[in-house]
Chains A and B, each alone.
Chain A
Amino acid sequence: MGYISSEAMETVAAELGVPVSRVHGTATFYSLFYTKPQGKYIIRLCDSPPCHIEGSKDIRDAIAKAIGVEPGETTDDGNFTFEIVSCMGLCGVAPAVMINDDVYGNLTPEAIPSILGKYAACSCGCKEGC
């Protein structure tokens, strides 16, 4: 389901015999673990120095404009979550984003709409795509 719910944390804590606070502390420590529902597609834009100096800010603005949400937010239809992340080791093709498992590098703001178009929400409004 893409995130670790409070119930799941309570179950883990009970199984391991540790306080829920410790499970929560661990789950929130790592950036690839989520404690809230996320969009179907998570857009991870790198803003570490190599991507930053190659213009990740312009990419950030282009993504925010294309999907209408700021970093840290999810679109109302639940299709996209937008995040700014630390280096993903794609510095050779900076600036880079990952959309779920897919990598896009050497980005320009102009390229963003067509890339995001591939992940557009299904026109019927369902979240699975049909």
Chain B
Amino acid sequence: MAFYRAHILVDTGTPAVLKGAMAVRSALVEEIKRNGLDKEIQVVETGDLGLPGAGPAIVVYPEGVTYANVTVADVAEIVEEHLLKGRQVQRLVYKGQTAAVITGAGDARSAEMRVILKNIGVIDPTSIEEYIAMGGYEALAKALTTMTPEAIVAEIKASGLKGRGGAGFPTGLKWEFAAKATGEIKYVVCNADEGEPGNFKDRLIMEGDPHQIIEGMVIAAFAVGARKGYVYIRGEYQQSVAHTERAIAVAREMGLLGSDIMGTGFDFDIEVFKGAGAYVCGEETALLESIEGRRGESQMKPPFPPVQGLMGQPTVINNVETLANVPHIIVKGAAWYNGIGTSQTRGTKIFSPCGDVQFPGVYEVPFGTTLREIIFGMAGGIKSGRKFKAVLIGGPAGELVGEESLDRRLCGEDLNPGAGALIVLDESKCIVDLMRNCAQFFYHESCGQCTPCREGTKRMLDIFNWWVAGAGSEDDIKLMDSLTSAMATASRCGLGQFAGVAFRSSLPLFMDEYVAHLRDKVCPNEVCSMDKVAQEVKIASC
């Protein structure tokens, strides 16, 4: 293997490529060659660095300096100044939190703890060799050659790992149910149908380190006795599909997937299944319906998938991030994992602050980290000098909290993190407008199967439409309260059950704002139209 004195990682995530990352990459290679440095410096394409808005970004190692918004015109300067003369090009240096800071010299103020994201922006996601060089597939070897399936389930149970898709069900327990269930063929399904607005962590894992998921799935399959796996990726995530499919093919070629894995006689293979655009397919039973070729409609539980899932067979369904935790637990042990996070919620969680923050992106922290540390520490606080107003945790199906909750901890025993979205609002935003928008989302995404959700989401949207048009009354609050509580009780799946959570949590915090809209017919932030006539025309026309 050739030795290089410096490596330049080029962010080739979807947003960066569209802003010209590939041209920057070519220019770098060209310029380095022109300066006779091509034997000393290697240019590597990496996945999404998790720095949206900073692309195309490059990281120069060994210093770990990140340059943001690099254009072809900047390349000569970077090569001459930094690589030839050793002087950093200050005007391009990225000032936010970066992977380079975490993996490089380290920043004492950083509360980030990268376990799942440790390879993101560090390795080339299309190279299995680099994944292996970083300790990849060590867990698989350990599991297949030194552990029994029962011991693996016991280790995952002891670790306290819980589902990272939002529901937080104990993973070990799920595996145990599936392991004990009898079936002709069992399945392991990776839920990569990331659709809850504000979440983009799973995309980052698939684009930047897809082998982690494969390794987690094979270990899960060995533990429960599954022979076939699916990664259900939403159709919009084209690069995730490409990277995952490629990783599967390479792993199969190397005998890490397919028949007789690592010569142990264990057979398991994985196929990517592309979703076709339906939020509700993130619900596990709807996802299985979709793989079977039907409308993605949720099913009554029980039976639960570990007992009777895909094609009626025992099926483990885990989120991308959940599966990515598995190899680390197998290598380092449940005791190590128990030392991270809080007493009730172990491990790390990936958060994706977005909205009105200065540095949107993904940040991995131990459970128990406060909202303030993430929003004001890592994400750089509120942009454009405004004040913080509220944050929607997990997405539209999550809870809305205000300033009073900034020092609360994100974990099962305090603020439920959901899948990790933190949609941050500054003081100029209107809560009623946001709630109307959330209602619009649920109305559009309801599968229409059960009445409480189909009719309930429609009524919620109608009522919010009155409110933003100045046509509401204070009595409507009671109406909305009874509507959302009926939906929470009677809906078949989480979509309808959680559609009213954000509204209900926002009501006591922002009662003044609701009253202003309903009694005084005023939107204090001048966001809503409060135009009754226009709204009536709109309602009549649909």
Among A16-32, those with CB < 8 Å from B are 22, 25-26, 29-32
Asked whether any CB of chain A lies closer than 8 Å to the CB of B416, the reply is no
Does A93 contact B198, Cβ atoms closer than 8 Å?
no
Interface readout for A67-99 with B: 1 if CB under 8 Å, 0 if not? 000000000000000000111111111100010
Give the docked Cα–Cα distance between A87 and B447 (Å): 16
Asked whether any CB of chain A lies closer than 8 Å to the CB of B200, the reply is yes
A94 contacts which of B354, B395, B445 (Cβ < 8 Å)?
B354
Does A91 contact B352, Cβ atoms closer than 8 Å?
yes
Cβ contacts under 8 Å, A25 to chain B: 295
Asked whether any CB of chain A lies closer than 8 Å to the CB of B360, the reply is yes
State the Cβ distance, B28 to closest chain A Cβ, in Å: 22
Interface readout for B223-257 with A: 1 if CB under 8 Å, 0 if not? 00000000000111110000000000000000000
State the Cβ distance, B120 to closest chain A Cβ, in Å: 14
With A89-B199, A103-B18 as contacts: A49 and B437 at CB distance below 8 Å: yes
Cβ contacts under 8 Å, A53 to chain B: 355-356, 423, 425, 429, 434, 437
State the Cβ distance, A101 to closest chain B Cβ, in Å: 6
Q: Closest A residue to B200 by CB, please name it.
A: A89
Cβ contacts under 8 Å, A101 to chain B: 238
With A48-B396, A53-B423, A105-B52 as contacts: A87 and B235 at CB distance below 8 Å: no
State the Cβ distance, B217 to closest chain A Cβ, in Å: 21
A87 contacts which of B15, B198, B360 (Cβ < 8 Å)?
B198
Asked whether any CB of chain B lies closer than 8 Å to the CB of A54, the reply is yes
Main secondary structure of the interface of B (DSSP, over half): loop
Q: Closest A residue to B421 by CB, please name it.
A: A91
Give the docked Cα–Cα distance between A31 and B279 (Å): 10
B445 contacts which of A86, A105, A106 (Cβ < 8 Å)?
A86
Q: Closest A residue to B235 by CB, please name it.
A: A32
Asked whether any CB of chain A lies closer than 8 Å to the CB of B304, the reply is no
Give the docked Cα–Cα distance between A106 and B69 (Å): 13
Q: Closest A residue to B281 by CB, please name it.
A: A30
Give the docked Cα–Cα distance between A104 and B440 (Å): 23
Cβ contacts under 8 Å, B437 to chain A: 47-49, 52-53
Asked whether any CB of chain B lies closer than 8 Å to the CB of A50, the reply is yes
Does A92 contact B236, Cβ atoms closer than 8 Å?
no
Among B313-368, those with CB < 8 Å from A are 352, 354-356, 360-362
State the Cβ distance, A9 to closest chain B Cβ, in Å: 14
Asked whether any CB of chain B lies closer than 8 Å to the CB of A128, the reply is no
Among B404-436, those with CB < 8 Å from A are 421, 423, 425, 429, 433-434
With A49-B423, A101-B238, A105-B53 as contacts: A91 and B360 at CB distance below 8 Å: yes
Asked whether any CB of chain B lies closer than 8 Å to the CB of A102, the reply is yes
- B38-46, B82-90, B189-197: which lies at the interface: B189-197
With A50-B198, A52-B434, A93-B53 as contacts: A86 and B361 at CB distance below 8 Å: no
With A29-B278, A49-B392 as contacts: A91 and B438 at CB distance below 8 Å: no
Asked whether any CB of chain A lies closer than 8 Å to the CB of B186, the reply is no
Give the docked Cα–Cα distance between A94 and B383 (Å): 13
Asked whether any CB of chain B lies closer than 8 Å to the CB of A33, the reply is yes
Give the docked Cα–Cα distance between A47 and B53 (Å): 19
Known: A29-B296, A49-B396, A49-B438. 18 other contacts (CB 8 A): A22-B294, A26-B295, A47-B437, A47-B440, A48-B197, A49-B395, A52-B434, A53-B425, A53-B429, A87-B279, A89-B236, A90-B52, A91-B200, A92-B50, A92-B360, A92-B362, A93-B53, A101-B238
Residues of chain A touching chain B, judged by Cβ–Cβ distance below 8 Å, are 22, 25-26, 29-33, 47-50, 52-54, 85-94, 98, 101-106
Residues of chain B touching chain A, judged by Cβ–Cβ distance below 8 Å, are 14-15, 18, 50, 52-53, 194-200, 203, 234-238, 275-279, 293-296, 352, 354-356, 360-362, 392, 395-396, 421, 423, 425, 429, 433-434, 437-438, 440-441, 444-445, 447
Can you report 24 residue pairs joining A to B where beta carbons are below 8 Å apart? A33-B276, A33-B277, A47-B437, A49-B198, A49-B441, A50-B197, A50-B423, A52-B434, A53-B425, A53-B437, A54-B355, A54-B356, A86-B195, A86-B197, A89-B195, A89-B200, A91-B52, A91-B200, A91-B355, A92-B361, A93-B360, A94-B360, A103-B14, A105-B15
